[in-house]
């Protein structure tokens, strides 16, 4: 179980770093004078930057728990995993706002914006949420004092 937990949380760390960087870039693009200012994309980027940071923290604490398996680290890892799952659901809701904005805006590029909002705005946070949930399940199976770890 320990190697699977290490691989899962390492993958979560790398994926959440990339997603947080992408979300911050999306947020920053809204302030550019060359870009179409889209409030829904800006909200998605802001939420994604925060949730990405929580996911990075969650994976770091979970990896540290593997090296220091005590009850305090387990509780800290459990709490950050729950916060990451809640954050991912808020991030998906922000992605739904992107899709709604794309449908309302219409125009020539509306279909492409709608599809990309579904993939990037809702799909990526959902995959990261599943990765965080897998890490949470591994943590629950490895609680201090259990014999399954």
Query: Residue 144's pLDDT is what?
Result: 79
Q: How far apart are CA 41 and CA 114, in angstroms?
A: 12
Query: Residue 79's pLDDT is what?
Result: 94
Query: Residue 123's pLDDT is what?
Result: 92
Q: How many CA atoms lie within 13 A of 5 on its CB side?
A: 23
Query: Residue 149's pLDDT is what?
Result: 52
Rounded alpha-carbon distances, angstroms, from residue 54 to 61, 79, 118: 10, 11, 22
Encode the chain (149 residues) as per-residue pLDDT tens digits.
Answer: 788 888 888 999 999 989 888 888 877 765 655 556 578 888 888 898 999 999 999 999 999 998 888 899 999 999 999 999 999 999 999 989 888 888 887 777 777 878 888 888 899 999 999 999 999 998 888 887 766 55
Query: Residue 56's pLDDT is what?
Result: 93
pTM for this prediction: 0.83
Query: Residue 104's pLDDT is what?
Result: 83
Residue 75, both tokens = 């509780």
Burial call 14-44: b when 16+ CB within 10 Å, e when fewer: ebbeebbebbbebbebbeeeeeeebebbbbb
Query: Residue 125's pLDDT is what?
Result: 92
DSSP element (H, E) containing 41: helix 39-67
Burial call 121-149: b when 16+ CB within 10 Å, e when fewer: bbebbeebbebbebbbebbeebeeeeeee
């Amino acid at each position: 179980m320990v190697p699977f937990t290490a691989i899962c949380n390492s993958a979560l760390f790398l994926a959440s770093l990339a997603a947080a960087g992408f979300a911050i870039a999306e947020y920053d693009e809204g302030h550019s004078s060359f870009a179409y200012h889209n409030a829904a994309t800006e909200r998605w980027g802001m939420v994604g930057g925060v949730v990405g940071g929580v996911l990075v923290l969650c994976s770091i604490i979970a990896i540290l728990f593997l090296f220091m398996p005590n009850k305090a680290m387990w509780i800290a890892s459990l709490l950050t995993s729950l916060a990451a799952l809640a954050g991912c659901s808020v991030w998906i809701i922000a992605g739904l706002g992107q899709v709604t904005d794309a449908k309302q805006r219409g125009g020539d590029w509306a279909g492409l914006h709608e599809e990309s909002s579904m993939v990037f705005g809702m799909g990526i946070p959902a995959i990261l949420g599943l990765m965080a949930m897998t890490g949470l399940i591994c943590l629950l199976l490895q609680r201090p004092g259990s014999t399954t770890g």
